[in-house]
Amino acid sequence: MSGGTGGGTAPAVGRDRGEAGLRAGDPRAIGDYVIARRLGSGGQGVVYEAYDPAGRRVAVKVVHVHLAGNAEVRARFAKEAMAAQRVASFCTARVLEARLDGERPYIVSEFVDGPSLGQAVERAGPYTGDALHRMATGIATALVAIHQADVIHRDLKPDNVLLGSDGLRVVDFGIARTAEMSLTSTGHIAGTPLYLSPEAAAGRRTGRPADVWAWGAIVVYAASGRHAFAGTGAGHVLHRILTDEPDLGAVPEPLRDLVRAALDKNPDRRPSAMDLLVALVAGPGAQGGAGGAADPVATGSRAASGLRPPVELAGAPSLGAVAERVYEGLDPEARAAVPQLLLRMVMPATPGVEMPRVLTTVEVESLARDSAATGPPGAGTAVERGLGGLLSAGLVVREEDGFTLASPALPRAWPRMRGWLEADREGLLVHHRMSDAARLWHEHGRKTADLYQGTRLEEALRWAATGRHVVTLNRIERDYLDAGVALTHRRTRRRRLVTVALSVMLAVSLGAGALAEQQRRVADGERRKVAAQLTEAVSRQLVAEAETLRPTDPALGMLLTAAAWRLTETDVTRGGLYGSLAQPELDVFTEPGARGGAAHGMAADGTTFAAVSDGRARVWDVRTRRRIADFPVTGVENVTAVAVSPDGGTVAVGGAKEVRLWDVRSGRQVGDPIAGAVTGGGGLESFWPGRGPVVGFSPGGGLLITRGDFDDGVRVWDLEDRRVVLGGREKEPDIGNVAISPDDKVAAVVARTGPTGVTPLRVELWDLAGGGRLRTLRLPAEEVIEFTGLAFSPDGRTVAVSGSKGVVLFDTGTGARQGEAPYAFGAEDLGGSGENLQLTPAVFTADGRYLAAADVRGTTRIGLWRVGRPHDAAHVFPGEHGETVPGMWFEPGDTALRVLTGGGSVTRLDVGPFTRPIRFAVDETGPAALIRARRALSPDGRLLATINATTRDGNGAVVRLWNVGDGGRAGDPVAELRADTGGDAGEEVTLVNVAFSGDGRTLAALTGQVTDRTVTLWDVPTRDKRGSFPLTSGQDDIPVTGERMALDRDGGLLATTSAGASGAGTSVHVFDVRERAQLGMVYAPYADTLAFAPGGGTLAVNGQESPLIALPGVRAAEQPFGPNSSHVSGVAYSADGRTVATVTSSGRISLWDARTRDRIGLPIEGPDSPLGTTVLRFSPDGRILALATGHEVHLWDVATHRRLGLRYAQHAQDVNDLAFSADGSTLYSVDEDGALRAYVIDPERAAERVCARAGRDLTEAEWRRHAGELPYRPVCGQ
């Protein structure tokens, strides 16, 4: 079997037929494939044995029904299919088809007939000697092929290594996280992760070294029959993985040394898969970069091909093979009876698709009476012997009233049965209808009224006389036809007077017209109903297809969601629109007709793309998709690198021995080759992406950079005279990497200070004109790794150094470091520590205010930082699984980022929300660790209130009001209000807060000093101050600290939280604003969200107990909405006060009836482990629920509990507040940095925005391809 189960559970293989049959709810067919049996099931999907229209045995993996609507699952499934299709077929199960656009996506792959390695070891014992070596070689060969395809397996284990009849296969790759062993965003590991690498067990990002670790652990298991890190539970296993050394006693030398190296706790010290393979096929001491076998993969494949499963575990024969074996084992008379039996168990439909039919006991008895008892005494008739053979083999099963096929796939899987069906397909339809009628006639007393007459009788007689090929009539069927013929003869002798009949018909004709009109109306209604159902089905299909297109053709995907909304206005199509507005991908360029093996390059403007393969260079404008040039490339041996000059006019092509240049316009070679430039790099660019591309132009275009292997190093060449201006010359350092300043005058180099592999300790700046060293930038050794990435800012004043801990900036004029902390991926974004990065060189926006870098360790992700804010976590754009990133470029205007992947595609990402944010700035002074500004949106989203902590200057802290109701333009505030601070003049303000009342007419600002907290109130329409008062609990030992604050609907009540010694909210205080007095207090551990009921009377609080506080008495009911295993992190009321929404720290959202406190429907699966501040808001009509957690905003349809689109990840800081506009057409969010985002909620406006984002309309050809069942209609036109 192939393909895996999507959850890490190994599928059943090598079993007897029928052991893992179909279950209730399993489909009979998926697409063009008829299902035979269930092979296995996991967290993501089910794998079936199936047969294609030609009878070929395949494996079909289909997403679980309950996950089919999950956009993230569909996206993972699509990535798995793409990853599987890229891997060489000799080492895995070849993907035959992937359909990702239906209600349940599925992947079809070839069937690998054999057990898993886990089953083989468990049932036949460990491997030894040559068999063990072949096993290790086969898995290493597969890993090399997988890694060469830029795929990382991540779930390699014995159950995913299959032993087929033609050798070893590795399956079920491309799944980043499985149900059995998954890393959540908090680092929690589920199941018993026996083959997790230490870095994965520690919650860090994983890459190719994790697969190498799994290889070592698998070899230990194969050699010993024991898991290398077995334990009593998940915790024990993880502890052993992180701390213990495995017992390698069962692994013989020299294999033991390789396994020991593969199981090194430090991923950087493990060998690559190619290193392993070379050592296995060429012997100890061989290196992956040179020597050894001429083609290690071919050698390894041949060595592994001789590996076979144990005899006792040979794979289960195909369904057709079983049937043929049973058939051949019968005597001739019984064999003749088999088609009579089997063809009565199917009802032919379209060719290749048969519907099940029960062969009744009455039919069998009738056939048996016609069949002679020709066999041995007591063996029964031929029909009984044939049926007995089919039953004993499990091909047929007994039902309550007869017999039926055990598998609906038998007619397709068995060539002999396919032949019988095709020989008599049309006749069988006639026969089966007649046979069913004959049985009913016989069972109901052989009534004359049940007999065939007229056309049906003629059709059956014609078939019986001339059309039969395989099936013959049984006795009941013959009697039935004879009785029908006799009745016809009797009726022809009778004559009827027609005048009476005519009179009757005339009498009723007057009413017949009305009846006909009624029938017409009913028929029209049915037609409209069917048309509506078809339209809705097509619209759902379009949304599903759009999800799968986002990584490959995002513009088309966006247009499909707009088309879906135009067809039907449902929550599904609305969610599709929102997903199109949330996705960062704007466009993906892939060279038309591209084949594997091409080398790619890109100009610095991110618009000119070149590909070289098969001796030709093709140059494209990625914006227009227009081919600019196509010319022959000769003289370059083993092309490995391509670069395009900044102006797009020259293409450099590098090979094993030299680099040659061509003029794009003329297609002619430019100047002499640059000889001696070894550009192979030993494959180093794949493992140390900080080096940048193997060949590259300088920003000014006058210099060329070549990055060779360790021995040849890095060179900078003057293109005018083809001389080396830096690298390899006397008195110059051994250069590991280089970057050139924008004016081509200065080079930043990584200077290696010791032997290959020793961490570099310095970055140097060199004068390219004079040839001397300008200055040295020293980095702490723990912050860099070999081939550290380098990049200059656009003004040349800053150099960015990409290391293992992030990006560090230096001033080129002084050599001083800019800030102490590196720009790194934050733990909130990764679910890990942000260590062990493999970063590409940074790229700056044109204004130098932002920088981006890609981390390609494991799944590619792109970080975007604001220069000067290294402590702020980066925004992370997810990339393709396992993709390298040779280059990135900001477009002019800095609102889009183009990313060139190792596979040759160019993805355009929308970064405008981060590089050009609508930011409502506030001045912050004082210690950054203590002071944070606060923001609050008015309930109708028209106003934003900001308050900053500042040293009291006698005039109080500043509260600013900004008008954002039009989508926001950060200009001058519409009002500046002064809040009273109390305390002594000049005393430092350490806390601020701000909140609107539920009707938006009252604004409260809280300012806090060391010992005092003061609340100031204003009337919002008039901006008049209503006064201020100190917050005090009346108890000296319980200060009111006011970390969170809320006002009720009319501003008459104010609630605040107070932190305990641990800093968590431990109590809630309620004040009467008019009386300036506390009404009461309740303890509420970890409370940080307060929500007054719109109609008054209650205050909902989040936290561990999540109390509901009755007002004005301030009495608390603990856990009013049922017990929670994790505390409530957010709570909100709907506008009408009838519904309460809660979200737990585990991400589960529940809706409650506010009056009865009963749960409304099932819980909603929200984001995993919400991070940072959690904010919930209902739309004014209560139909949409918005949730902000950390940097993200999510939407759900309240009625259906369906997620609406993708997450909006458009903030670089935690979201402080959310608000819908009064009409619900727009949602606003504001973060800690004062950045505002506006999300279009009105679907018509959303559709228009989607069309604008796509930049075009859906063509008629695209409509026919994706919605051909319906007539074309413009999607984006008027």
* Whole-number pLDDT of residue 351: 53
What is the C-alpha to C-alpha distance for residues 741 and 813, in angstroms, rounded to an integer?
12
Q: Is 1068 within 8 Å of 1055 (Cβ atoms)?
A: yes
Residue 440 β-bridge partners: none
* Whole-number pLDDT of residue 181: 30
Task: Give the neighbor-by-neighbor strand order of the sheet with 658-663.
Answer: 641-644, 650-654, 658-663, 669-675
Which string of b and e fits 138-152 if b means at least 16 CB within 10 Å?
bbbbbbbbbbbbbbb
Residue 447: C-alpha distances to residues 432, 450, 491, 589 (Å) = 20, 6, 16, 72
What is the C-alpha to C-alpha distance for residues 878 and 584, in angstroms, rounded to an integer?
9
Pairing of strands 1065-1072, 1053-1059: antiparallel
Q: What is the DSSP string of 861-911?
A: EEEEEETT-TTSPPEEEE--TT----EEEEPTTSSEEEEE-TTS-EEEEE-
Q: Is 273 within 8 Å of 258 (Cβ atoms)?
A: no
Q: Which two tokens stand for residue 1252?
A: 């604008």
From the list 211, 222, 266, 236, the residue with the least C-alpha distance to 122 is 222
Q: What is the C-alpha radius of gyration for the chain, rounded to an integer number of angstroms? A: 37
Q: Is 585 within 8 Å of 551 (Cβ atoms)?
A: yes
The region that residue 46 occupies, defined by phi over 0 for left and psi between -120 and 50 for alpha, beta otherwise, is beta
Q: Which residue has the tokens 């140059």?
A: 619
Burial of 987 (0-12, 13-18, 19+ CB in 10 A): middle
Q: Is 1018 within 8 Å of 976 (Cβ atoms)?
A: no
Q: Within 10 Å of residue 662's Cβ, how many Cβ atoms?
A: 24
How many residues comprise the chain?
1278
Query: In this structure, which amino acid lies at residue 5?
Result: T
Q: Is 569 within 8 Å of 1265 (Cβ atoms)?
A: no
From the list 562, 568, 577, the residue with the least C-alpha distance to 534 is 568
Write phi, then psi, for 1238 (nearest 5 degrees).
Answer: -120, 125
Strands (E), 1145-1205: 1148-1153, 1164-1165, 1174-1178, 1184-1189, 1192-1197
Strands (E), 44-127: 45-51, 57-63, 95-99, 106-110
Q: Which two tokens stand for residue 649?
A: 């006019």
What is the C-alpha to C-alpha distance for residues 1097 and 1111, in angstroms, rounded to an integer?
5
Q: Within 10 Å of residue 442's Cβ, how many Cβ atoms?
A: 17
Q: Is 716 within 8 Å of 674 (Cβ atoms)?
A: no
pLDDT mean by block of 10 residues, the chain; 1278 residues: 36 33 78 87 82 88 80 72 70 81 84 87 90 91 84 85 83 45 31 76 78 95 93 76 91 94 93 91 52 64 72 75 90 89 81 75 84 54 90 88 88 86 79 85 86 83 67 83 81 45 36 49 64 79 83 91 94 93 91 78 91 92 93 87 94 88 95 69 43 85 81 82 86 85 94 51 86 82 60 95 85 88 60 58 93 78 86 63 76 91 87 84 40 80 82 63 68 82 60 90 84 87 92 69 88 86 66 92 84 92 82 82 69 94 85 89 72 84 93 91 85 88 94 88 95 92 84 83
* Whole-number pLDDT of residue 1197: 93
Tens of pLDDT, residue by residue over 1189-1215, are 888 899 999 998 888 988 888 787 888
From the list 1012, 1087, 989, the residue with the least C-alpha distance to 1046 is 1087
What is the C-alpha to C-alpha distance for residues 1090 and 1217, in angstroms, rounded to an integer?
13
Which string of b and e fits 1163-1193 if b means at least 16 CB within 10 Å?
ebebbebbbbbbbbbbbbebbbbbbbbbbbb
Q: Within 10 Å of residue 1019's Cβ, how many Cβ atoms?
A: 13
* Whole-number pLDDT of residue 1034: 66
Q: Is 672 within 8 Å of 722 (Cβ atoms)?
A: yes
* Whole-number pLDDT of residue 1171: 56
Burial of 489 (0-12, 13-18, 19+ CB in 10 A): exposed
* Whole-number pLDDT of residue 970: 53
Sign of CA dihedral 828, 830, 836, 842: negative
If DSSP codes are grouped into helix, strand and coil, which group holds residue 228? coil
What is the C-alpha to C-alpha distance for residues 716 and 739, in angstroms, rounded to an integer?
10
Cis check for the bond before 1112: say yes or no (omega within 30 of 0). yes
What is the C-alpha to C-alpha distance for residues 380 and 306, in angstroms, rounded to an integer?
48
